[in-house]
Amino acid sequence: MKLGVGQRALAIAAFGLFATGSATPAAADTASELRELKARLQQLEAQVAKQRAEVKRATNVANAAHAHVSKDGHGHPPPPPVFVSFKNGLFVETEDKAFSFYVGGRVHADGGWQSDPANGDASNVLLRRARIDIAGKAFKHWYYRTQFEFGGSSGAASSANVRDAWLGFNYPILAKLGLPYEKNIFIQLANQLRPLGLEAMSTSNSGITFIERSMMSDAFNTPRRHLGASISTGDHNWGVKTGIYSTSPQDTAIRPFNNRLGQYWEVDGRAVFLPIRTEEDLIHIGATGRYYQNNGATGASNDELLVGRGVRNEANALNTRLLGTPDMSCNPGGPFNLFGSVWAANQGLGGSLAQNNCLKNSTQFNVEFVAVHGPFSIQAEYSQQYYNRNSYNSAALLITPSALTGVPAFQAARLAAGQGLQSSSAFDGFYVQAQWFLTGETRISGYTDIEHNVNTPYTFSTQPKILNPISKGGYGAWEVAGRWSSIDLNNGAQGSWSYLPAYGALGLVPGVATPGGLASAVLAANSVGLTGGRVNKITLGLNWYPEKGYRFLFNYGRVLANVAPFNQPWLNSNDTNSFLTRAEVWW
């Protein structure tokens, strides 16, 4: 009987295992030799799978050539065969892998209940996401992706429904220029994910452990996609990405209402190092930096300046918001309105008040860590956001002459409530989580580097490989997880009357014109606390993966030691309990 390629390889593997066991019978049961035998067997299985694929590909090529010659009779070179797969989406690829086309999508249906002491119990169901995804490659080096959102998490305008929409070029540019670096350089243009941390970079919501990302990620990195240009490169155990970005299709407005100073822009960068990366163990260390130049943007055009306002307490389906700072650009056009006042026209202040904006720039840094050992893993991130503001512009909002728009007593009351106008403010947040697959799977199988994922490398971009799916008679994969999440958006002296000591020391009276001029107002402005709120939350999760592309999630969450933001004082110590579920499918 003639053996096939796969049968010969398996026979060789069996003989090798028998020979090894016969040569050293006394040591065959040791853990080190078992691991070595397992590794050798996995290598042989991989070789068999590769040989089978090559045989199948060669057979298809031969059949295509034969069909072509038989059809036209001229013997012209046949076109490259096209391979089609329907596993988790439609995937089409040419035999030479120079062209590919993918159509996929995802649906996330959420439901939940919440016990809220301040607002009463609530429940809701939501089509959290319903996306269509089109991606591919052309001429070997050109990549593209377009993603559109139909679910309930997007804005009202149709442009807000655009998620990914980018073009990429992957090529060993430096090597072609004669430099000693042979790795590909990936250049990416248009609407894309910013490199602002592990959770923020994870394009697949099916790759994150809990139903929602942490409060830190939502507060500092949303919207995650912006228009820009980036460049990235890396290898098996390291990678870097940096880019320059501006507005997002998900911004409140596509341009500032007062465009004399122009649109905002930012420069972001991320570096990742993996000192350990095997099939069983992974250590991931990363750092991110961001510089943001505000120019003419305000909270009316860029809702990132309303820090924390979009955070829904890690339970978007229930839409409970426990955080939110004042507009970090000093709220132009809002309660502090300088239009028409003598201060807006005062050229002695550099004319900048005419722009009604006090924010110069902001910076952010983020560190990330992951450790995986078999079915167990831990993950953590810490992020800090720093805002650098113009003290004189801020102080002008504290001065209340009769020409100032608005009622002076009303202005002072808002300061008392925690709308601080310091020259600088700093906020931070973090999360720590741990997860364990009860059925033996490992997160490492869902981790990708830049060779396999040019869009969001060095993230858990997909679900882990399921060892015993339902379709093969198993029970699927079962995972338990826990997360502690914290965010602090308070800065400076806190308390409803924190500004009064500075007023008294300077001879100022709330609601009355400042007698000491601008210098006194600057000192007073910098003494007032800013209250955006503080929240700690614990989340427990149970996840079931019956098949590749399917997952059911169950999350219980409790808010602890909540401090209310400036505009919702009734939320103090509002320790809520919530239970969320999700049914998701991706293809």
Cα dihedral 37, 43, 46, 47 in deg (nearest 10): -120
Query: pLDDT-derived band of residue 50, with 50, 70 and 90 as boundaries?
Result: confident
Residue 386 pLDDT greater than 80, yes or no: yes
How many Å apart are CA 259 and CA 245, to the nearest integer? 18
Q: What is the CA radius of gyration of the chain?
A: 29
Instruction: Tally helices (H) and strands (E) across the chain.
Output: 9, 20
Q: What is the mean predicted confidence (pLDDT) over 109-114?
A: 92
Phi/psi at 420 (nearest 5 deg)? Answer: -60, 155
Residue (of 470, 481, 473) closest to 545 by Cα position: 470
Residue 502 pLDDT greater than 60, yes or no: no
- Asked if the peptide bond before residue 223 counts as cis, ω within 30 degrees of 0, the response is yes
How many Å apart are CA 159 and CA 499, to the nearest integer? 43
Q: Which residues contact 264 (CB under 8 A, 6 or more apart)?
A: 246, 247, 256, 292, 293, 294, 295, 296, 297, 302
Q: Which residue has the higher pLDDT, 251 or 343?
A: 251
> Whole-number mean pLDDT of the chain?
78
Handedness of CA 257, 259, 261, 262 (dihedral sign): positive
* Diameter over CA atoms, the chain: 105
pLDDT at position 224 is 83
Please state which of the ranges 59-68, 173-182, 369-378, 382-391 shows the lowest mean pLDDT: 59-68
Take residue 244 and report the two structure tokens written for it: 């320059």
Handedness of CA 12, 14, 15, 21 (dihedral sign): positive
pLDDT at position 185 is 96
Q: Which residue has the higher pLDDT, 7 or 438?
A: 438
Q: Which residue has the higher pLDDT, 500 or 177?
A: 177
Residue 528 pLDDT greater than 70, yes or no: no
pLDDT at position 480 is 98
Per-residue pLDDT tens digits for 532-572: 889 999 999 999 999 999 999 999 999 987 887 877 777 77
pLDDT at position 294 is 86
Alpha helices in 419-532 (DSSP H): 500-505, 517-525
- Asked if the peptide bond before residue 565 counts as cis, ω within 30 degrees of 0, the response is no
Query: pLDDT-derived band of residue 330, with 50, 70 and 90 as boundaries?
Result: confident
Phi/psi at 41 (nearest 5 deg)? Answer: -65, -40
Angle 455-139-181 from CA coordinates, rounded to 5°: 60
Q: Which residue has the higher pLDDT, 497 or 313?
A: 313
| Model confidence, pTM | 0.79
Residue 179 pLDDT greater than 90, yes or no: yes
Q: Which residue has the higher pLDDT, 276 or 331?
A: 276
How many Å apart are CA 168 and CA 183, to the nearest integer? 16
Residue 289 pLDDT greater than 60, yes or no: yes
How many Å apart are CA 337 and CA 366, to the nearest integer? 34
pLDDT at position 216 is 92
Residue 316 pLDDT greater than 80, yes or no: yes
Percent of the chain exceeding pLDDT 70 equals: 69
